[in-house]
Amino acid sequence: MAIRLIVIEPDDVLHKTAKEVTKITPNVQKLLDDMADTMYDAEGVGLAAPQVGILKRLIVVDAGDEHGLIQMINPEIQSKEGEQFGPEGCLSIPGLNGDVRRAETVTVRGLDREGKELTVTASGLLARAFQHEIDHLNGVLFTDIAEKVYEMKPDTNGSGE
């Protein structure tokens, strides 16, 4: 496993649509592991492959809850319910937070690292992380949809996504 360099805005890769993973290889699995290591090293709760410069539909999330680390290939939001509104940050946009409106609960379906179907229903921070990371796969940053963007205060770090 390795810590990868996190791509920083305004890098073009962050604004492109990631491509579907058609074959799960040892390289894809290693990338998922590297992404998890990178996310933990940066003290984030989520990371998408474009954030490490790779346009593949891969995400890792860990909101510090009972779900633990979730590694997902080709994730898609199947349903959304309710609404939450709050601060988000992004490892690719250091120093900024934004107030973003998201669904309170989402059901996300994709594949696990072995290629088996994986469906997760999440609320709160985990739901926010899923939506944030899937946006990355579509070239959308939180600053594109935030109702307000502001500099991060030194004593807070938002949700750290």
**Which CATH number belongs to the domain containing residue 21 in this structure?**
3.90.45.10
- Is 144 domain-assigned? yes
Q: Is residue 5 part of a domain?
A: no
pLDDT band at residue 146, thresholds of 50, 70 and 90?
A: very high
User: Is 156 within a domain?
Assistant: no
- Which tens digit of pLDDT belongs to each residue from 9-30? 999 999 999 999 999 999 999 9
Residue 48 lies inside a defined structural domain of this protein: yes
- Domain count for the chain: 1
User: To the nearest whole number, what is the mean pLDDT of the chain?
Assistant: 95
Q: Does a structural domain hold residue 71?
A: yes
Confidence at residue 152, expressed as pLDDT on a 0 to 100 scale: 79
Question: Which positions are catalytic?
Answer: 133
Query: Does residue 136 have a known ligand-binding role?
Result: yes
Residue 67 counted as an annotated binding residue: no
At 154 the pLDDT is 64
% the chain with pLDDT above 90: 93
Question: Which pLDDT value is given to residue 153?
Answer: 73
| pLDDT score for 151 | 94
Q: What is the pLDDT of residue 157?
A: 46
Does residue 2 belong to any structural domain of this protein? no
The 3 state secondary structure assigned to the chain is CCCCCCCCCCCHHHHCCCECCCCCCHHHHHHHHHHHHHHHHCCCCEEEHHHHCCCECEEEECCCCCCCCEEEEEEEEEEEECCEEEEECCCCCCCEEEEEEECCEEEEEEECCCCCEEEEEEEHHHHHHHHHHHHHHCCCCHHHHCCEEEECCCCCCCCCC
93: in domain: yes
The domain in which residue 27 lies consists of 12-151
Q: Global pTM?
A: 0.93
Mean pLDDT across the stretch 95-124?
Answer: 98
Is 32 part of any domain?
yes
**15 annotated binding-site participant:** no
